[in-house]
Amino acid sequence: MSDRGKRLVLINPANGYRKGYLLRRESKQAPLGLGIVASLTPPGWSVKILDENFKEFRYREADLVGITAVTASVNRAYEIAAMYRSKGIPVVLGGIHASSLPDEALRYVDSVVIGEAEGSWARLLADFDNGSLQKTYTSALSNLKNTPPARHDLFHPGYFFASIQTSRGCPMDCEFCSVPSFNGHQYRLRDPESVVDEIASVPHSLLYFVDDNIIGYNKSAEDHAVAIFEGMIRRNLKKEWFAQASLNIIEKPELLKLARKSGCRMLLIGIEAENAEALKDSNKKVNLRLGVDNYKKAFRMIHRQGITVLGAFIYGMDSDTTEALNNRTRYMITSSVDVIQASVMTPLPGTRLFEKFKKENRLLCHDFPKDWQHFHFSDVVFDPALMTPKELAESTNRAYQKICSMQTLRRKFIRTWWNTRSLRSAVWAWNSNLNYRSVGLEKPSEYKYG
Ligand code: SF4
């Protein structure tokens, strides 16, 4: 151990196989979970974050190492863990992948934090001090009341956006989503004043609210969002932000107005598909309730506030055929969605979809953990119901060429400007489309569906 106290090195690994959102600085996101773990670490430890979003990992001395990983980056996490373990330095892995598959993770690391760290990190550090680190640490979901703000000072200064979390959990149950199993079905809300203090403390003028739905689905979540937006306005924070929301935001015009006044420029909305059949496939209840025929009206209401719509779509629902995908692509291009995010359906471990495909013997990848690198939403890793994997991959690649063409992007820019009456919002949308263009046109790999 160093004379200067104990050294905790926290690492954010990157999937080297496909860079995705790391191709452009504007679309990189800070590893918020590591910033929270750093905040939970008591004085007496020196804490450093090594972040492969910006720089390839270089070995740094440590007494304890904590790594976070999503499924696509977990191989890299295991590689880095091996370097430390070969020197006898204990490695802890947390995050959504390890929480879903702790037994796999324990083959590569010393200890796994299952679920959220708030309830177990202090215990883990005490066990480390006593030389009795346990294999797993699990705790009940934290109520977030005592969750400290993340240590933004430890993040790489190159991030364009400050990442802020105001709530966790989602009461919905989309088949492909790992949020309910990781963060639970109950909304848990941070103290709004502490959120506003955190926003005021970051030097960034641009924010990304990482919540799965910034306005939630019930009255207390809505009041919470109102308190945060009003706090930002009252304190004249002059930040611009984007967040994920759900289509139900159109049922709350006053909230939408307040969002705009507090600096909202863009809302990422899970459209998923333009037809009800595909929505039923994935149990996307909120879109089904509002109805696909109302999408146009919904976008208009958002545009009226000068806010742009980032529409997230999926290719590869069970009812999808090549023709259905062509229709989806056409819809994305011709509808008034401002920014297009198109992903290939990906059964992440921990989701009902993963279990279903496993049971139906439809997973195309079997060499785990190596094959997890393909679970990044661009490769086809399962056997679609009404297409061959090759047809799905080819349809998707053809779609990316169209969606990401400069002609489409230029048309979208003009249309967004017209619809929102805001050049600033149109520039936001333009930049976001460039981010997705980089992801969509990233050179295809050697991977051939399993
Ligand atoms: S996709 Fe969104 S709405 Fe559906 S379960 Fe996940 S977080 Fe909730």
Of 435 and 444, the one with more pLDDT: 435
54/111 same-domain check = yes
93/179 same-domain check = no
23/71 same-domain check = yes
129/170 same-domain check = no
For ligand 1, say whether the CB of 212 is within 6 Å of any of its atoms.
yes
Q: For residue 213, give the CATH number of its domain.
A: 3.80.30.20
Identify the weakest region by mean pLDDT among 14-28, 146-160, 266-280, 387-401: 14-28
Residue 155 pLDDT class (50, 70, 90 cuts)? very high
- Is it the case that residue 162 has pLDDT exceeding 80? yes
Domain presence at residue 97? yes
* Span from the CA of 236 to the centroid of ligand 1 (angstroms): 32
The pLDDT assigned to 72 comes to: 95
* Span from the CA of 178 to the centroid of ligand 1 (angstroms): 8
113/194 same-domain check = no
Task: Give residue-wise pLDDT tens across range 310-332.
Answer: 999 999 999 999 999 999 999 99
Identify the weakest region by mean pLDDT among 171-185, 293-307, 326-340, 366-380: 171-185
Domain that holds residue 201: 160-440
124/171 same-domain check = no
User: What is the pLDDT averaged over residues 281-308?
Assistant: 86
The pLDDT assigned to 428 comes to: 96
334/411 same-domain check = yes
Domain presence at residue 149? no
The count of structural domains within the chain is 2
121/203 same-domain check = no
Domain presence at residue 421? yes
For ligand 1, say whether the CB of 279 is within 6 Å of any of its atoms.
no
188/118 same-domain check = no
Phi then psi for residue 77, to 5 deg, are: -60, -45
Task: Give residue-wise pLDDT tens across range 345-374.
Answer: 999 999 999 999 999 999 999 999 999 999
86/196 same-domain check = no
Pick from 212, 247, 353 the residue to mutate for probing ligand 1's pocket: most ligand atoms within 8 Å of its CB: 212
Domain presence at residue 13? yes
201/291 same-domain check = yes
Q: For residue 128, give the CATH number of its domain.
A: 3.40.50.280
pTM listed for this prediction: 0.94
